[in-house]
Amino acid sequence: MLHPFAGAARLAGAAALLLLAGCAKDATLTGTGPAPTPTTTANATTANGVMMQGFYWDVPGSTPAGTWWQNLAGKATELSAAGITAMWLPPAYKGSAGGYDVGYGVYDRYDLGEFNQKGTVATHYGTLAQLQSCIAALHGKGIQVYEDVVMNHLMGADYQESFLYNGQNFNAYTGFNYPGRGTTYSSYQWHYYNFNGAQQGANNSWLQWNPWDFQSYANGDAYDNLMGCEVRYADPNQATETIKWGNWLTTKLGLDGYRIDAAKHIQTGFFNNWLDGVKGSRFAVSEVWFNSVSQLNDYATATGGRTSLFDVPLHYTFKAMSDGNGAWDMRGLQFAGFTEANPTLSVSFVDNHDTDTPGGLNSPVVNLKMLAYAYILTREKGYPCVFYRDYYEYGLGAQIKTLSLIRKANAYGASYEYTSVDDADYYAYSRAGDSTHKGLMLILNDGGGARTKGVISPFKNATLTDKTGNYGGTITTDANGYGSFPVQARSWSAWVPS
């Protein structure tokens, strides 16, 4: 979708409203001095799990395996073997542009590819039966399923309504009666009074008849009018219906969790009630696009820790590393992002469907991307999310798989940042291991030449190998854990006691 609110679709024949939010980078670095015995910090929300975003913008409607749902189902075995423990699915409901809509222009929340509406029975990703088979295949391989929940707006109304509000006449496409579905699953219909306002006309200009009901963040910036018909959650009728729908969706698909689209645009009080009424003990991560650790922490406080949040500042740190392409100071990775500040609520990522698409945020991490993946997949803090397009379309799957399996086997125990060792090119980070896992020493290098530095590791009198395969041979440490840890140019190594 378009910046700054990932979740708004690029709809056929319609332009999404673009609002620009400030992006002040948090880049404060702190030091720790000489390496002490590492101290234990909080575990990730899902211990050593790895989530995959199972789609990208404009995924094909047809693949060699069939529909997108059939494509994902066919990859369940290989992804489970690669250490993927959860799959984030795209919005599964009928969009306003029918089979062309990627789901963020949601028309009917209850149509998961089952009813002939908007010119098609199937959604862009396939039919309900194929979706349920996909989820069964993923569950059968021990992969949890998170559905993308879009509840800020509706689009593609069935008819126009005329009404009077505060002495002003309005004509707006705000009537939803779902002639293709009727009252199956729900008899709830939508009218102008269920919304605060709507985009109308060829230029998608805004009409507003109820006050925006969002909770303001980031110095009062306005976030409610995102796109389409903005649902009015100040009215308890919409709140009750959306909680009811959330429970229906969870049961219908057997969901293990949720990715919440455009959460900052939704009234926070309602959203907290939705999480209380639907989520239960399941996982939830929300898209709140703030490039500010303090603003993410403000939102985490307002939602009472009910939902994890994507680490947007960390993505932009990786973007800066990518843009520097060897000239960026690698010490910027020390204690970086929301992942460091609030580890139990952070979902770390490198790219997603919004950052890596023309016409969206278009802030992809192009250079040195595997250094970013090595960072999030070995870190003690945060719950890492892998991007489907990186894994399959950009040819990084084998390397990401290796790191994911290193995470599964070795990324345990207390962590340590080597602030007295790191320099502009060389970054070191260790996991001490535990009683059943050997731990690791991660070394990253964005420079143009191979590097070696002396580091006091957690591994005493040990022989270590680079489990990534990027550096051959072995190295040894002394009784204090000191050893010389090499890394190739523009590369990454995970040195593991053998």
Please give the positions annotated as active site: 261, 287
Distance CA 488, CA 452 (A): 9
Distance CA 459, CA 436 (A): 14
Within 10 A of 7 (CB to CB), how many other CB atoms are there? 27
Dihedral sign computed on CA atoms, order 301, 303, 307, 313: negative
> Shortest CA distance to 106 belongs to which of 155, 62, 38, 45?
155
> Shortest CA distance to 427 belongs to which of 450, 443, 439, 451?
443
Distance CA 386, CA 88 (A): 10
Within 10 A of 45 (CB to CB), how many other CB atoms are there? 17
In order, the DSSP letters of 143-157 are: -EEEEEE--SEE-S-
Give the distance, in angstroms, between the CA of residue 58 and the centroid of all CA atoms in the same chain. 17
Distance CA 245, CA 234 (A): 17
Tokens matching residue 256: 């293990």
Show the beta-strand stretches assigned E in 245-352: 257-260, 283-286, 308-310, 346-349
In order, the DSSP letters of 214-241 are: PPPBTTTB--S--SSEEE-TTSHHHHHH
Stretch (H or E) spanning 136: helix 128-140
Query: In 3-state terms, what secondary structure has residue 51?
Result: strand
What residues form DSSP beta bridges with 257?
A: 146, 283
Query: In 3-state terms, what secondary structure has residue 90?
Result: coil
Dihedral sign computed on CA atoms, order 221, 350, 343, 427: negative
Residues in Cβ contact with 243 at an 8 Å cutoff, skipping those fewer than 6 apart? 273, 274, 277, 278
